[in-house]
Amino acid sequence: MMANSLQATTTLHNGVKMPWFGLGVFKVSEGDEVIQSVKDAIRAGYKSIDTAAVYGNEEGVGKAIAESGVPREELFITSKVWNADQGFDSTISAFNISLKKLGLDYLDLYLVHWPVKGKYVETWKALEKLYQDGLVRAIGVSNFQVHHLKDVLEAGSIVPMVNQVEYHPHLTQTELHDFCKQNKIQLEAWSPLKQGQLLNDPTIVAIAEAHQKTPAQIILRWDLQNEVVTIPKSVKKDRIISNADIFDFQLTDKDMQQINELNKNERVGPDPDNFDF
């Protein structure tokens, strides 16, 4: 069943429903900027907001949620444990700080932000405990490659529900995506527009013109048709609304194929295997 509205959800392997589309707040300033963009998104019908401890804006996200007037249970809130806090006890403690900053009683999704060598397995075990204690509705990882996922599958008792990675037409990560599908791990895209670098791509521009849509809308629709959850970031109200206007058209098989063929395994963010944690 393909996403047909901004409230459409994918069902994670533990039965929790996660919106296919959400707002990311990476590099959105704490205070007015993040409060306004989250409120604009919620007002536009967004249900999913993705933040992280290291973004430094959890308090603003929490304030926007509190002031939005939307019941907490209708929203899907994600945060992540930062690298410096990894390890069992420190992860539990970091989670509690995030929860307090957000002003919430529970999170919908909590992720291990990066696979910090020698620590991510213990960190995962802390997430399992938070999940078993009912403080998080779903747990997952971010920036994990296949070999990191295998470590967690081997050492842990719960399969991650989500893997959030850099994903866009220049980085399609098909092997990782296939592995996630086989293990019922939902893939989620960060930086789906490659920080704007794909918006002038001639192939994408031509497809956009054919559908009378923007290049951004084409890429975000491509995510969904590839069964990838996507969380584009914007602080501009009109962009937040426009990004979500992708449920009234469908890319053809040929469109999908042409976009898939743009892959060059090129990242805009760090490589999880060569990252100075």
Are 260 and 172 in contact by the 8 Å Cβ rule? The answer is: yes
Pairing state of beta strands 17-19 and 9-11? Answer: antiparallel
Which tokens sit at 181? Answer: 């599908």
- Enumerate the H helices of 47-164 as residue ranges: 58-68, 88-102, 120-132, 146-155
Q: How many CA atoms lie within 13 A of 168 on its CB side?
A: 25
Q: Which residues, 6 or more positions from 125, have their beta carbon under 8 angstroms from its beta carbon?
A: 88, 155, 156
- Residue that the structure tokens 């304030």 belong to: 63
CA distance 100 to 72: 15
What is the set of active-site residues? 55
Are 80 and 112 in contact by the 8 Å Cβ rule? The answer is: yes
Pairing state of beta strands 162-166 and 17-19? Answer: unpaired
Helix (H, G, I), strand (E, B) or coil at 215: helix
Are 148 and 141 in contact by the 8 Å Cβ rule? The answer is: yes
Q: Which residues, 6 or more positions from 138, have their beta carbon under 8 angstroms from its beta carbon?
A: 12, 14, 16, 18, 108, 109, 110, 131, 161, 162
Q: Using CA atoms of 243, 220, 12, 151 in order, give the dihedral in degrees to the nearest 10.
A: -120
